[in-house]
Structure 1
Amino acid sequence: MSVSQQPVRPTEIDKPRTTSHARPAQNGRWSAYLHLLVARLKELQREPEVVFWVFLFPLLLALGLGIAFRNKPADITSVAIVSGPGAQDALVMIQGSPLKSSVRAEVLDPTSAMKGFRLGKYDLVIESDGNGGFRYRYDPARPESVLSRTEIDDALQAAAGRKNPVPTSAQASSEPGSRYIDFLIPGLLGMNLMNSGMWGIGFALVEMRQRKLLKRFVATPMRRSDFLLALTSSRIVLMLLEVGLLLGFGGLVFHMQVLGSVFTIVFLGAIGAVAFGGLGLLTASRAQKIESVSGLMNLVMMPMWIFSGVFFSYERFPAVVHPLIKMLPLTALNDALRATILEGASLTAQSGRLLVLVLWGGISFALALRWFRWT
């Protein structure tokens, strides 16, 4: 058989091809939200100032205030005794009293004594009344002056032979939970959640709006709610680190005791982070410049810095404004954190405070979703 007569075998080229049509991957309902959340967290890693303001600044603030207001021995009472009749008798009586170790008394001429008292060098001025007794000059606006008057009068009366009709005793007590640092740490935690939630989200939104990044998102099929929710929930990840660092620092440096459940503290922190994230979204929903959003955020946060009991108790304000103060989100968060950390309160006992936080966060997010604009 010749070559031309041999049967031709089908080659690979002659074989019919079967075209496979791969089904394109379908994105899930929350895929856009998850991608946005991951992208936001990666952006935070590139911002070194976040590490300082979110993590290091609260620790430095707690350290400085904890040292400044640490428990320490009672202050020495400084007393000026006006020279004249009875001055030496008063000095001897004070030096012979049980309070002699906590009193520093000097005999001075009237001019020097009153000048030192006016400048705050002395807490109390003692002078003779001309009838064998003494007259006290003190400043009712200075707590140390009022306390000195009571202590010195007790010392002089005891030295003159006064007997207490009722026997009493005193026992010093300074347990963890009653110190200023124990009051301060939960307040700093709440304040830090507010600051990081509002500044972190508000500045990020306005910066993206200025750089025309938000304008590009309009052309994508991304939902507005997914974008805003990703910004808000990104603060929850930072919240976990904030809570752990601040409470760990308080326990390690100041021997602070946490009586409540860790889960309750984390849950309260998450609700607080979302609530303040919603406020940050609402504040920056239409702001065009960094200067504008800075003024708006200071306007929103300033009342909470003052009234919500971060550095001192809001009980110092008149009782008539207490209901309004308790409606502030930072007040509700600080009260809930202190009740959990210092008293061991359960999550169910915080229902009223949780309701305040949920209302602030939910209403703020809903309004931000309605008023937000990309450009």
Structure 2
Amino acid sequence: MLRNSPFFQLYCARLREFGRQPARIFWVYGFPTVLAVVLGYAFQSRPPAPIQVDLVEGPFSAPIEEAIRNHNDRLAVAKASPGDLKSVILPPVSLEVAPRDKADDRLNTGKTVLEIMPIDKTSWSYRYDPTRPEATAARQVIDDVLQEAAGRVNPRQPNDIQITEPGTRYIDRLIPGLIGVNAMGGGLWGIGFFLVNMRIGKLLKCFIATPMPRRDFLGAILASRLTFLLPDVSILLLLGALAFHMPIRGNLLVFFLIDVIGALAFAGIGLLVASRATTTETVSGLMNLVMLPMYLLSGVFFATENFGKSAQPFIQALPLTQLVSALRLVVLEGAGLLHHDILKAIAILAAWAIGTFYLALRIFRWN
């Protein structure tokens, strides 16, 4: 009986159609994996990169150059000593001595982050862009090096305790973020764009001319999308656990449940976006309008706190923010289904799913 139902036949047709297009398989499964690998290795734990600094040559540049060279020599010695934190905490300095005009040009074009201009034997000036975080950090490091070379003694010597264990690194937070992004992309592009293409090709008009219930048509598309989602989540979780030693501290069933609810929310948004669009240009623009704010604001690549307190109510209402936060809570902190923040995220995602599906089905254009 099930094999003859419109729902089952449409579901199988979507699976066969997906398997016949290698490009779709790559973008759904291959690209997120490649992205996770590249970003994981780019942000893996490693000693600090050298700071690029230019020194304006002149009669008073020799003492500054000598102090920086001595700093690099001390770091090389510390690096050879097992357990010496100086080789990990303090960055080396890549120094270039150049005339003033060349140093200015290198700073203005971003080839160096800091320019040192000696004034006399005991004073100097720093030239840098204060809006660049690496420039202000370089200024602090270089000033400490030069002040200590001039005889400054720090009255207190703090101890540095570095956190490097799995669960606290960038890649540990990135993997759940990419899983959330895939749920968003699958819901919008996998459902919304697909329906608009069918509308443009007059296929929707053909389907409604049949005795097939419309709920079977939409249900089959949604079910196939959820089927594609499960291998995607599994691949990224296995990659994080095996390649980057990401801990999985929570219940995987809770993790998959939250991801499915998030996927339903984005499926509703995709259906709503596609409910009236009649051209690929229109639906592409609408989807980018919906997705771009969530890419930037939802904490996938940047912390949500970076955008200020006034933006937090809007950011916290975004479905991707709640999905990514809940996935991270389960994987990295072992939160259960009854955790307050998990229940809050599920409620917001469910509200998005119910609200968008209701609106979309009321205004959806079949012709």
| TM-score bucket (shorter structure) | 0.7 to 0.9
One-letter code aligned to 1:81: L
One-letter code aligned to 1:53: W
Alignment of structure 1 residues 95-110 onto 2, 5 Å: 95-97=69-71, 101=75, 102-110=92-100
Give the equivalent residue in structure 2 for 1:251: 241
Q: Residue 52 of structure 2 contacts residue 95 of structure 2 at CA under 8 Å; is this kept in 1?
A: yes
How high is the sequence identity, in percent, across the aligned residues?
Answer: 46
Rg bigger for which structure? 1
One-letter code aligned to 1:304: M
Give the equivalent residue in structure 2 for 1:160: 150
The whole-number CA distance in structure 1 between the counterparts of 2:206 and 2:94 is 73
Give the equivalent residue in structure 2 for 1:91: 65
Give the equivalent residue in structure 1 for 2:269: 279
Alignment of structure 1 residues 29-40 onto 2, 5 Å: 31-40=5-14
Deviation at 1:144, TM superposition (A): 2.2
The whole-number CA distance in structure 1 between the counterparts of 2:47 and 2:259 is 36
Q: Residue 177 of structure 1 contacts residue 257 of structure 1 at CA under 8 Å; is this kept in 2?
A: yes
Deviation at 1:31, TM superposition (A): 4.6
Asked if 1:65 corresponds to 2:39, the answer is yes
The whole-number CA distance in structure 2 between the counterparts of 1:94 and 1:46 is 61
The whole-number CA distance in structure 1 between the counterparts of 2:148 and 2:329 is 43
Deviates most, 317-326 or 248-257: 248-257
Q: Deviations over 1:227-278 (max 9, x none)?
A: 2222222222111111101111222222222222111111011111111111
Give the equivalent residue in structure 2 for 1:213: 203
Deviates most, 152-161 or 54-63: 152-161
Give the equivalent residue in structure 2 for 1:357: 349
| CA RMSD after TM alignment | 2.4
Give the equivalent residue in structure 1 for 2:332: 342
Q: Residue 283 of structure 1 contacts residue 293 of structure 1 at CA under 8 Å; is this kept in 2?
A: yes
Deviation at 1:56, TM superposition (A): 0.8
Aligned pair in 2 of structure 1 residues 83, 356: CA closer, same or farther (>3 Å)?
same
The 3-state SS of whatever aligns with 2:311 is: helix
Give the equivalent residue in structure 2 for 1:270: 260
Deviates most, 242-251 or 74-83: 74-83
Aligned pair in 2 of structure 1 residues 346, 90: CA closer, same or farther (>3 Å)?
same
Q: Residue 235 of structure 1 contacts residue 274 of structure 1 at CA under 8 Å; is this kept in 2?
A: no
Deviates most, 316-325 or 128-137: 128-137
Alignment of structure 1 residues 132-281 onto 2, 5 Å: 132-281=122-271
Give the equivalent residue in structure 2 for 1:51: 25
One-letter code aligned to 2:12: V
The whole-number CA distance in structure 2 between the counterparts of 1:205 and 1:84 is 69
* Residues matched between the structures, number: 348
Aligned pair in 2 of structure 1 residues 263, 134: CA closer, same or farther (>3 Å)?
same
Structure 1 residue ranges without an equivalent (≥5): 1-26
The whole-number CA distance in structure 2 between the counterparts of 1:216 and 1:137 is 68
The whole-number CA distance in structure 2 between the counterparts of 1:123 and 1:211 is 54
Aligned pair in 2 of structure 1 residues 335, 99: CA closer, same or farther (>3 Å)?
farther
Aligned pair in 2 of structure 1 residues 324, 115: CA closer, same or farther (>3 Å)?
same
Task: Tell me the TM-score normalised to structure 1 length.
Answer: 0.84
Give the equivalent residue in structure 1 for 2:316: 326
Deviates most, 259-268 or 338-347: 338-347
1:81 to 33, 55, 78: 55
Deviation at 1:345, TM superposition (A): 1.6
Q: Residue 34 of structure 1 contacts residue 230 of structure 1 at CA under 8 Å; is this kept in 2?
A: yes
The whole-number CA distance in structure 1 between the counterparts of 2:102 and 2:266 is 56
1:41 to 15, 34, 43: 15
Deviation at 1:327, TM superposition (A): 0.7
Q: Deviations over 1:117-165 (max 9, x none)?
A: 3333333333333363233223212222212221122122222222221
Give the equivalent residue in structure 1 for 2:290: 300
The whole-number CA distance in structure 1 between the counterparts of 2:6 and 2:157 is 75
Q: Residue 260 of structure 1 contacts residue 342 of structure 1 at CA under 8 Å; is this kept in 2?
A: yes
The whole-number CA distance in structure 1 between the counterparts of 2:57 and 2:10 is 78
Q: Residue 97 of structure 1 contacts residue 158 of structure 1 at CA under 8 Å; is this kept in 2?
A: no
One-letter code aligned to 1:64: V
Q: Residue 319 of structure 2 contacts residue 348 of structure 2 at CA under 8 Å; is this kept in 1?
A: yes
Aligned pair in 2 of structure 1 residues 81, 288: CA closer, same or farther (>3 Å)?
closer
The whole-number CA distance in structure 1 between the counterparts of 2:136 and 2:289 is 38
Structure 2 residue ranges without an equivalent (≥5): 76-91
The whole-number CA distance in structure 2 between the counterparts of 1:77 and 1:49 is 42
The whole-number CA distance in structure 2 between the counterparts of 1:300 and 1:60 is 24
